[in-house]
Each structure stands twice: as C-alpha cells, then as structure tokens.
Structure 1
Amino acid sequence: MSRSDEGRAGRGGIGRFFTLKKLLGAFFTVCLLGMLGFVGLYLVVDVPEGNADATRQSNVYKYADGSQITHTGSVNREIVGLDRIPKDVQRTFVAAENKTFYTDGGIDLKGTARGLINTVSGKGKQGGSTITQQYVKNYYLTSDQTVSRKVKELVIALKVDQRMSKDDILAGYINTSYYGRGAHGIQAAAQSYYGVDADDLTVSQGAYLAALLQAPSQYDWAVASDRGKQLVKERWRYVLNNMVDQGWLDKATAAEQKFPVPDEPKPAPGLAGQKGYLVNAANNALRKQLMAEGASAEEAQTSVEAGGWTMTLNIDKKKQRELERSVDSSLNDKLDPKARKVDARVQTGAASVDPRNGKVLALYGGRDYIEHQLSNATRRDYQVASTFKPLILASALENKATTQDGRPVTAGTIYDGTSERPLEGSPTPYAPPNEDDVDYGPVTVQKAMNKSINSVFAQMGVDVGMDKVMKTAGDLGMDVEGLEAVPAQTLGSMGASPLEMAGVYATFANHGKLVTPAVLKSAENRDRTVDLPKAVGEQVIKRSTADSVTSVLTGVVDDGTGAAVRNPAQDVAGKTGTSDDNKSAWFTGFTPKLVTSVGLFGEDMEKKGQQVSLYGAAGGGRVNGGGFPAQIWADYTFDVMGTPASFDLDTDMGAGVAPPPEPDPSTPPEPEESTPVEPSTPAEPSDEPTSEEPTDPEPSDEPTGGPSIPEPPEESPPGPELPTIEPGAPGEEE
C-alpha cells in the first residue's frame, strides 16, 4: 500500500468518528440529556423552607415622636412591606440589579451560564443573577459558590416566580439583603446610613442603597477608598440612568439629583444608660397585653423574643433627657462612692405620667442598665412610707368615715397627734410613734398631713376600717393582693414602685378617674397590631374625694415637709415619705398636667441586693423625702412643665381652698418644738428598735425608725425662690 493510500485510510478512520452529522447528534443528545436532567431536577427539587436567619428580626423601640431608642436581637433587621417603601425607591433596586424583573420568568440563563463558568474556572463570584435568583439565594439557600447550589438556585427561582407575585419577591429581596454596617434589610439600612425610616427615603438615597448591594464594604462612603467612592458614585448614577431608560424617572429630575452622602456610622444602639430599662418596660407591657388577649405566659414571652416587633413608647424624648439630667445634677453628681461606702448603695427610681391620658412620659431606672438590671422605676420591694397617707384620707372621705366620737372626717377634723398614743377601737393593739417621737397634741387633719403625723393617720385608718382602706388603695391602682388589713399598714409598710405610685397620684390629679400608667403607645409586627387598653378608666372615687385629697396635699407643699417644691407660679400637690431605718425616701407630687414619683432606695449589691440605710449619703445625715427626692422632682418638673396651670378642684376643704380652723384655744397647746440641728452637723442614728414585720401587734415595737433629730420650725414662709433642703435636713416623717 502506498503512502498516499495509508493517509487516506487514516483520515477516513478518524473522519468516521467526527462527521458533522455525528457532532450535531452528540450536541443534541447532550442538550436533550441536559433538558431531561433539568426536568428531573425540576420535579425532584422543591422549594425548601425559608432560612430562619434570612428573616430573623430585631425588636425596634421608638420614642413617642418616632425617633429610635434602640433595637435588640442578634440581627439588625426590621422587615417592612412594599407599602412602606416609596415606589421610586423600589424601582432603584430593579434598575440596579434586574431591569427586566417585571417581565422575565425569574431566571437569566446567560447570566447563570456566565456564573457557572466563573465558578468552575475559579474566577470568583458569579454575576448576572435576577432579583428572583438573588432572593432565592438569600432566603432559601446559602452564599456557597458551587455548581450544585447554582443549579438549585435556577430551579427554585423558576418555581418561586410562578408561585409568588413580583411585589412579594421584590419585598423579600429588599428585606433579606445585607447593606453593610450590620444592617440587614432596607429599614435597618435607611436608619444606619441616613437616620430615617424606609418610608422617608428619597430616590437619590434609594439609589445609593441599591448601589451598595454590589459591594457593601467597598461602597460604604464612610470607609471607602478614593477609588471606592468613585465607583459607588458611578454605580449610583448608573442606577438613576437606568430608571430614566425604563421611564421611571424624568431625565431632568435625574440630572438634578445630587449624590446623597450618608451619615457617619454610629455605635450600635445598645442597652446602656436608661435604654435597657425602657426596653424592659416596653417588653413587659407587651407581654402583659398578649396574655390579656389569651396567650400563656410562655407564648407571650416567646412572641416578644422572636423579634419583629416595632414598639413605640409614650416616652417623651425631651422629658426623658431632663429627668436623667435632674437626677444627675440633684443627686448623682454629689455622690462619691470611693469616699463614702453608702454612696455606692444609693439607687434612684422615678416615673413621670400625664394624668390626663395616662402616658408614661419619662422613666429613670438607675444609673446604668448594664450595671444594675433591676429597674428602680418598676421595682416594688421598698416601703412607700408616708406617701400612703393620702390614700387613707381618700378612703375616709369616700366612705364618709367618722371619728371614734362620731365626728365626720374632713380636712378640718381634730385628732390627737400625741406620739405613741394607743389606738382607740383597734382590734389589734398598736401605738405608733411620730417621727423623732414628737408630740403634736390636738391637730387638724390638714396639719397632720402637712407634718406627716403617724399617730393621726393610724387612728384614721382604724376609724375608716382597715379593710376599707386597703380596698380604696386597690381601687386607686395599688397592688394590695395578699396584704393584711392591719393598722401598721397606715405607715406605708407595703411595697410599691415609683410607677405604681405615680399612677395612684395621677388618679387624684384626674379627679378620681383611674389612671393606669401606659408605657406603650403602639406595638406591631408584620402579622398584627396589638390593641392596647385605655390608660384612663372609670371613676373609682368621687371627684369631690379626689379633689379634696389634692387640695390637702397642696398644704404639704405650702406649709409642710414638701416645702422644697414650693413654687409661687405653679400649683403643686405632693407627699413625702421616709421608710423604716431610712431604707427608702420618696417624693410623689403633681401639677395639673404632670405627676412624678421619685424614690431613693438603699441597696447593698455586694449582699445580693440587701436593703440598707441611706443615712449619710452625699455626706449628710438622714435622707428624707423632702431632700433629694423633692429636689429631683422640682428640678425636673419646673423645667418641663410649660405654662403654669392651676388646679380645678371641686371641694370645700383643704389648703387649696382655705386653711382649716386651728384647734380651740381651750384645748391643750401643742408641745414647744425643738431647735433644729444644723445641716452641717448630721445627727447620729438612734438606737430605737424598729419593727421587722408590719403586722406586729405589740405597741412597744416601733414601726418606723431613724435618727433622733428634732423637727424643724413649723412655719416656713414662702419666697420667690425655691428653698433648698440639704441632704441631712431634719423634720422628715416616717
């Protein structure tokens, strides 16, 4: 065989394998197999359950004006519907990522093929996916760059596009995407980059956020290199131009847009300072309401912790800041824990309520939630002391009580103010001492309230009937369940919180209509909006009763232990209180528009929160309700109260109308009062025993303790300036 014949034979042999017909047949066979394989995958691969992390949300907490307090949760995301995203902002994402989104079938075969080739060849991240595909990757799959994941993405995207509306897919994409700065979803991104809600984004800002998705770290203006800034501006302009091409934005309007430089990054909002206390108060209010609607305690807790709630509080941002400032300037700045051990044991709580609508406008839970998680504004473990006395008077007036000799109890009724006088008509022997064991002799109820005379109100409680007193307290909003109706309760030996006491006094200020302090203004998530109860309820005591108590309480300020809050331009009513062994000190007071309760509590954190005395705090002596608590109250209230207002009272008794008559001169005179101790010379605590239990019937056991300091002069003429009571000033009641 010749060489030429051999060449022809070789070519013929190879040609038999690579004829055009066979190549086309092989190609179509591969395509057919691919199609059959894809159909098989389409039938086998179903749309999986969504990735929980892709929709995990934080709870968002806002002030009453809508500005954000903080958010909680492991993922900074708040899912919002398209109805909360302006239409032109929605379109910026379509213009940036997938101009054919509204008309395509959910996949981009050319882009997907390019992505597969890039993945197989190791050229890095694929590109060209549709919005539907990116949503599938975010919500159903992972970011793994593998061929199998890309094929699954294609199949699932086709099915998702058939099952979901384009709006739902777009919303899912916008809410599951990561924008940098720890922000997941458009709402978190809007807050992080521009300090606004998604509702308020402009088209220019939307175009920047849409541009970010291509490279969040590289395109964040705050940290971008010069090249990164150039690229993101080009990408931003590309988005706007695409909107013009699609007919979604006028060309002239697009040309007028200026690059919206984002805000500087802010530290992640945490729970430090007062934020943690506000978050807990909101969570507790939401849990309580969910349980009222039928959820179990566990179900309510799980619902709150699951995230996705937007809770708007009634907290007024300005008043909140002023309350914090007042506590700092009036007390915290004067404490020196390094120099005085007792100063490290001072805890302050306060709550401020609008009595007209029940809104909680400000809360102070402690110096820092990170250091002390238990909120002093809502804790109920410290005695309320003499802030309970107005409730006894309210019960006497409401029940038309009479004294042991048949005289009606009014502001002008004369009682015996002798210290340690055994109670008449009491089923339980009891002889309470007055503060510093002062004997007042015959005094009016008005003066007894002004000077907070224990013996008078203990006897009044017996005259009314302690069961009726405790019922009235419950009607006014105090939690008295399980408390014994015994005379010792008249000295405020039960526990209550500043928020609870603010609600009780708000009921007085609101003319007897029950005020239940409301922390929450609204609570909603994607699935529901919670219907919150009304904060102002029914008439629980007669208006004349509430107004009479208010009138009497103005005397405490004008001529009594609350003189530190006296203001010639503003009507003020209130009551001081100092508990057993000076472990707590209170001032709860109100104007017609604002009720605030301030409590100081002695707590030794080194001994598991043991209650201890406040004596000697800030370098003074006894810490009285008319001292630091009243000073904080006045500093805060007179700064935020606005235009002065007068009480509108329906009453014919009390200091608010006219001073009650003094006792007949023929009755024994009051004992001569002692000379007060100078504030610079704090008195030593007495060794008098104190009662351990409020129900102890032995007359010899004193229910209230404290250092033996004489009472200050009874008269304290008003002046144009608010008087200042030093921290060790004497004369406060138990």
Structure 2
Amino acid sequence: MYWTTDIPEDLNSFATQQDNVYYWADGTQMTRTGWVRRQEMPLEQVPEDVRWAVLAAENASFYSDPGVSPSGILRAASRMIGGGETQGGSTITQQYVKNAYLNQDQTFSRKYTEILLALKVDNAFSKDEILEGYLNTSWFGRGTYGIQRAAQAYYGKDVSELNASEGAFLASLLKGAGLYDPALGKANHARAVERWKWTLDRMVEIGKLSPEKRATFTRFPEPTQETGGRTELDGQQGYLVELAKSYITRSGKVSEAEFDLGGYQIYTTFDKTRTEELDKAVQAARKKLDPKKRKTDTFVRTGAATVGADGRILALYGGPGQLKQGFNESNAVTVPAGSAFAPFVYAAGLTDGVVKERDAPRSPVTPESTYNGQHDAAVMTPEGPYWDRNGKMVRGKNDGGKSWGENISLRRALADSVNTPFLQLGMDVGLDRLRVHAQRAGILASSLGPQVPAFALGNSTPSAIRMATAYGTFAAKGMHTEPYSVLRVSRNGADIPMAAPEPERAFTSEVAGEVTDALRDSLDSGAGRSARVPGARAAGKPGTTEDNKAAWFAGYTETEATAVVLYRMDLHKLELIPLDGVAGNRSRTVGSTLPADIWQAYEKAMAAHSR
C-alpha cells in the first residue's frame, strides 16, 4: 500500500482559499470577504519563536518523528474498532497532508490514506518544507488560511513582526478557532488564555524558550483586530454579510468551514439605496440624543429592517457598524413588541370570531364590533374577572391613562392604539388561537411570550426583521413568505441549490384588507399621524409597552414593510431600562417618537427616489 500510494500533484481547495464576493440586489458589487491574496510566507520569514510556539502546541517531536505518531495510530485504530471516530494523535505532517491533499472526514479509510501519505511526504520533503506548507495552509478562523493572514487578521501586522507570546495565541487557534477566538465570547477568551499559558510553559519545558523570557509574558496578547481589520465591512455592510452568510450555511447546507474557503458569488436581496437611506434616517434621529447632557440618553439602541411583501430582506439597520458592535439590533429578540402586536390580535379576531360565554359557539367579529376602551377595564372570562396568581384582578391600561369610552369599535381602537379592547379581544379569541395566527403571520414561536392576558399586549419579543415580515403579510394581502437575504449563490460558476421560501396563506385577503384599512386610519388621523407621509398610500402604527421599556413603529406600503425599534439596554447587565425622558421627551405618553421619526424620514427619502 505504501509503494502504490502516490502523493497527489495538486493541492486541494483547503490549501487554495479564495475570497467571497457579495452583490447588491441590482447586481452591482457590494463587498468582498476572505483573504484571496493569501501570501505564501517563506519559513525563514516566520520568527523562530513563533515556529516553536506552534510546534510546542501541536507536535514537539516534529523534527525527529517519521511523519506519523505510532501511539496516535494505535489510538485511532482502537477508536475505530470501538465504533468511534478516528481522530486523535495527528502529527503536523499528517495535518498538512489532510489540509493539502485530503478532506476533513473522520473515517478509517481517510485516516489510513493520511498515514501512508504522511510517511511518503516525510520522505519526499524536508522538515522545513513540510512545516512551511503546514503554516501556509492551516485554518486560523476569521476566514483566514495561513499564519501570515492570521497575523494580519488578529494583530494587523505581518507574521515576521510577531513575538513568542502572540505566536502562542495563534497556535491555540489550530485547535479550533471557534473555541479559542476571544472575540467570540467570554468562554472563548478564558480558553484562549489558558491555552496560551500552557503553550508558553510547554516551550520552556522543551527548551525553546528561556524561563527568564517566559517571565516577561504576563499579559495575554489581546488581538487588536476585531474582525481582521476589513474596512469593506464598515457600517451596515458587516451586518448584511453576516445575515447572508447565515442564510447560506442554513438553507444552502454549506458549512462555515467550507464557506470560509471562498470562491462564492452571493447575490443578495439587499437594496443599496434603501440601506443607505435607512442608515441616514436612523443617524438623523439619533442626533437628538445627547448622552453627555442627559443620562436618559445613554444606552439607547436602535434596530430597523425593511422586508418586501414577498419575503426579501431589502434593508436593515443593525447598529453603529459591525466593526464597532457585532451585535445586530435588527435581528435581536430581546425587546417586547408591546402594542405593535395589536394588528395580529385584530386579525385573529376577524378570522376566528370570539367566545364570551362558556360552551357558547363562536360569534363573528367585524371592524365595527365594540369593546370597552376604558382605562383600567377589567379583563373578563366566561367565569368572571381574570385573577392573577397573586389574587389580583387583571386590568388593562391605555397609554397616558386615557379612557376611550365603554364602546369603541375595534377598527377605531387599532387606529388610535387603544390597548384595553385588544387585551379583552385576545382572551375572547383564545390565547392559543392567537399564538397560531401570530406564527402564521411570521412571528417565530421561539420569540412568542407566555400565554397570559399580556400576550395580547405584546409580551412576545420578535426582532425588527420578524416584525417587518409579519406586517408585510398584511401588505401581501394575507400571504406570508419567510424572510430571506440571498437570491442566488454560485461557486466558480456552478450554482449552489438553495431552498427558496414559498408563500403561504396566513389570512384571507379580506381580513388583511381590514387590518390595512385600520392602520391607514392610524396614519391619517390616529396614533400614527405624526409619521404620515403626504401622498404615500401607507399603513402603520406605533407600539409602546406598559413599563415604557420599548418603542416601535411598524408600517407598510403595498410592496414592503419596515419596522423600527428603540430601547435602552446596558449590554453588560442585559436589562431593559425605561425610556422616560429619552431625547428630552417630557410627554406623559409612554414610548418615544424617534421610531416614528425614523420611519417617516426613511419613507420620504424613498418616495423622493421613486419620482
């Protein structure tokens, strides 16, 4: 087998990484990611301390072993016999063979070929040639293959400028960048520090680092480049790229490791003009915040998204930029929907009707059906008032404590954002049925809140993307399409099969039309009138929460929907903070006008572009 096994003439794709190219929806190039200009770094340009950091961590006997580890082979064989994977005990030569010539499968046949090739390679090449090849083809995370690009991705400098301490950290990434990149979380950081210390101590143990020099490395060499320093991902583009990548790995069944090899052409759904205008609208609104002057303006966060009626994600605002904040606000599921959830309660009532008495059949609901709009109206069940676990009668509350009379039509209540009718309507429809309809509209089950009366008042926490998607269901006349961010993907000219989402009926066109009529009233003369765009045939409403910890505005035209959320959260404590006084707002009405301001400015800008 040894003599009949030949070393392949060509390196495989793991050793020849390309970049990935992203395109806007109009086909123009958006950005490139990956390190297509992968530099083959000669071994002599890699500092000796860095080389030995890698060897100490991975294979200290590299220069004396025959290219394979006998004990490792025995361990792999025993695991195979026991029915387990064949991993474990690989030398650097074996790892190089796997990177350069084979695949990453954990099978006995692949492991056996790896061993034979490692023996062949060890005889055919010098140890320095093998080490050079290994350092130039290994995966270090952040889309990088090769220690030169790793040095740039984590420290922003050439490998020749690294010291032993930085080399020890990069060596830890060879065990799995997903586990040791400190930027990916506290647990990763702790693992990276522990592995870094062990590697330096191991260098001392094998005589490749003096104890005196080791003593100077007391502080972990924190990476200076959060995302490899790629300016192409500044602003919103970083969020767009991550969203598209996530969709591809999920729907296209492409692993992250495969994707990071590069060579993909990604044609996204993102509209460049919309993305720019949404960013401008958010920035203009945030200029009203003055954290230095008002403490209430600290920790204010904004997320926004535009989704087409056909499910295409057209634009989003995820934060100040991924290079500054990796957390994508448009995809966050931490903020309650509040009264922005009311249209789904209304649609559920129009669809299913209500039951107000025990064992009574369901009776139909129309836009003119009346409910109690009084502030502090008690929530009723067929058995009487609803009591919570503390023995307290549950009552509805309207914004500003305003009462709207004992008989207000549901259409008017939705237009004027009156909470108490929808709290009761949710109970009459049935919270279980309300849950079903919310999911059909596009709200993820994982973000739906507990089935208590407050469920009808938005204790669920959908992201801005999902809220826009759900409102888009009404824009699409009751048809729901799951949101998606990629139109087409190809690699080296060959299309990658993608599971395109199909529209499904969520509500009848009549029910969707009734919701739209009420939400148009909201913009014309109701709670959303401050966001009205003259000449635009739009529908929408603001959303608030009882504890004033979130403010929304969601609206739509016939072709797309946009949702904007604003809240305050200290990301260290992960607790929502009331919006009282944000941007100097002294109104007794809870919430904030900033989401409505953003929506209006954005819609005006897009209307101007369409002229």
Give your verdict on TM over 0.5: yes
Hey, what's the Cα distance between the residues in 2 that align with 1:531 and 1:410? 45
Structure 1 residues 549-560: aligned runs within 5 Å: 549-560=515-526
2:600 paired residue number = 634
1:617 paired residue number = 582
How far 1:76 moved relative to its partner? 4.4
Q: Does 1:56 align with 2:36?
A: no
Q: Deviations over 1:399-456 (max 9, x none)?
A: 1336669863211111111222222226743322222322222211122112222211
Q: Deviations over 1:45-90 (max 9, x none)?
A: 854451767511233222112333222224447xxxxxxxxxxxxx
Which structure would you say has the larger Rg? 1
1:320 paired residue number = 275
What amino acid does structure 1 have at the position aligned with 2:247?
A
SS of the residue 1:353 aligns to: strand
How far 1:630 moved relative to its partner? 1.0
Q: Does 1:380 align with 2:336?
A: no
SS of the residue 1:581 aligns to: coil
1:463 paired residue number = 428
What amino acid does structure 1 have at the position aligned with 2:325?
H
1:509 paired residue number = 475
How many pairs are equivalent? 416
What amino acid does structure 2 have at the position aligned with 1:520?
V
Choose the corresponding residue for 1:434, options 398, 408, 418: 398
What amino acid does structure 2 have at the position aligned with 1:306?
L
Q: Return closer, same or farther for 1:421/1:624 CA change in 2, 3 Å cut-off.
A: closer
Q: Return closer, same or farther for 1:44/1:407 CA change in 2, 3 Å cut-off.
A: closer
1:498 paired residue number = 464
1:213 paired residue number = none
Hey, what's the Cα distance between the residues in 2 that align with 1:643 and 1:550? 24
Hey, what's the Cα distance between the residues in 2 that align with 1:643 and 1:48? 56
Q: Does 1:368 align with 2:321?
A: yes
Is the contact made by 2:478 and 2:509 (CA closer than 8 Å) also made in structure 1?
Answer: yes
Q: Return closer, same or farther for 1:568/1:407 CA change in 2, 3 Å cut-off.
A: farther
Q: Does 1:522 align with 2:488?
A: yes
Structure 2: gaps of 5 or more residues: 39-99, 102-123, 126-144, 146-228, 388-393
Is the contact made by 1:516 and 1:535 (CA closer than 8 Å) also made in structure 2?
Answer: yes
Hey, what's the Cα distance between the residues in 2 that align with 1:74 and 1:328? 32
Q: Return closer, same or farther for 1:308/1:550 CA change in 2, 3 Å cut-off.
A: same
What amino acid does structure 2 have at the position aligned with 1:470?
R
Q: Return closer, same or farther for 1:624/1:365 CA change in 2, 3 Å cut-off.
A: farther
2:437 paired residue number = 472
Q: Return closer, same or farther for 1:426/1:560 CA change in 2, 3 Å cut-off.
A: farther
Hey, what's the Cα distance between the residues in 2 that align with 1:56 and 1:553? 51
How far 1:541 moved relative to its partner? 1.3
Choose the corresponding residue for 1:410, options 362, 366, 369: 366
Q: Return closer, same or farther for 1:335/1:541 CA change in 2, 3 Å cut-off.
A: same
How far 1:379 moved relative to its partner? 0.7
Choose the corresponding residue for 1:342, options 296, 318, 321: 296
Q: Return closer, same or farther for 1:463/1:555 CA change in 2, 3 Å cut-off.
A: same
Q: Deviations over 1:569-589 (max 9, x none)?
A: 122211211124322110000
Structure 1 residues 255-294: aligned runs within 5 Å: 269-291=231-253
What amino acid does structure 1 have at the position aligned with 2:455?
Q
Is the contact made by 1:403 and 1:460 (CA closer than 8 Å) also made in structure 2?
Answer: no
How far 1:269 moved relative to its partner? 3.7
Q: Return closer, same or farther for 1:485/1:588 CA change in 2, 3 Å cut-off.
A: same
Is the contact made by 1:366 and 1:375 (CA closer than 8 Å) also made in structure 2?
Answer: yes
Is the contact made by 2:548 and 2:591 (CA closer than 8 Å) also made in structure 1?
Answer: no
SS of the residue 1:280 aligns to: helix
Is the contact made by 2:468 and 2:562 (CA closer than 8 Å) also made in structure 1?
Answer: yes
1:544 paired residue number = 510
2:51 paired residue number = none
SS of the residue 1:393 aligns to: helix
Is the contact made by 1:562 and 1:576 (CA closer than 8 Å) also made in structure 2?
Answer: yes
Is the contact made by 2:397 and 2:546 (CA closer than 8 Å) also made in structure 1?
Answer: no
Is the contact made by 1:513 and 1:536 (CA closer than 8 Å) also made in structure 2?
Answer: no
Hey, what's the Cα distance between the residues in 2 that align with 1:394 and 1:454? 15
2:133 paired residue number = none
Q: Deviations over 1:194-223 (max 9, x none)?
A: xxxxxxxxxxxxxxxxxxxxxxxxxxxxxx
Q: Deviations over 1:605-648 (max 9, x none)?
A: 3x343321222222223686671111111111122146999xxx
Q: Deviations over 1:209-260 (max 9, x none)?
A: xxxxxxxxxxxxxxxxxxxxxxxxxxxxxxxxxxxxxxxxxxxxxxxxxxxx
Deviates more, 1:595-604 or 1:616-625: 616-625
Hey, what's the Cα distance between the residues in 2 that align with 1:447 and 1:437? 17
What amino acid does structure 2 have at the position aligned with 1:394?
A
What amino acid does structure 2 have at the position aligned with 1:303?
E
How far 1:604 moved relative to its partner? 1.1
2:88 paired residue number = none
Q: Return closer, same or farther for 1:323/1:44 CA change in 2, 3 Å cut-off.
A: closer
What amino acid does structure 2 have at the position aligned with 1:591?
T
Is the contact made by 2:549 and 2:591 (CA closer than 8 Å) also made in structure 1?
Answer: no
Q: Does 1:389 align with 2:342?
A: yes
How far 1:531 moved relative to its partner? 3.1
Structure 1: gaps of 5 or more residues: 1-42, 78-138, 141-150, 153-175, 177-266, 292-298, 646-734
How far 1:337 moved relative to its partner? 2.5
Choose the corresponding residue for 1:445, options 410, 414, 417: 410
Structure 1 residues 148-163: aligned runs within 5 Å: none
2:419 paired residue number = 454
Hey, what's the Cα distance between the residues in 2 that align with 1:391 and 1:344? 32
What amino acid does structure 1 have at the position aligned with 2:323?
I
Structure 1 residues 716-727: aligned runs within 5 Å: none
Q: Return closer, same or farther for 1:523/1:443 CA change in 2, 3 Å cut-off.
A: same
Deviates more, 1:62-71 or 1:630-639: 62-71
Percent identity, aligned pairs only?
32
Is the contact made by 2:400 and 2:590 (CA closer than 8 Å) also made in structure 1?
Answer: no
Q: Return closer, same or farther for 1:610/1:484 CA change in 2, 3 Å cut-off.
A: closer
Q: Return closer, same or farther for 1:400/1:58 CA change in 2, 3 Å cut-off.
A: same
What amino acid does structure 2 have at the position aligned with 1:627?
T
SS of the residue 1:582 aligns to: coil
1:573 paired residue number = 539
Q: Return closer, same or farther for 1:67/1:424 CA change in 2, 3 Å cut-off.
A: same
Structure 1 residues 481-492: aligned runs within 5 Å: 481=446, 483-492=449-458
Q: Return closer, same or farther for 1:629/1:614 CA change in 2, 3 Å cut-off.
A: same
2:351 paired residue number = 398
SS of the residue 1:367 aligns to: coil
TM-score (norm 2): 0.62
SS of the residue 2:427 aligns to: helix
Hey, what's the Cα distance between the residues in 2 that align with 1:562 and 1:415? 21
Q: Return closer, same or farther for 1:643/1:408 CA change in 2, 3 Å cut-off.
A: farther
Is the contact made by 1:402 and 1:409 (CA closer than 8 Å) also made in structure 2?
Answer: no
SS of the residue 2:512 aligns to: helix
SS of the residue 1:523 aligns to: strand
Deviates more, 1:67-76 or 1:412-421: 67-76
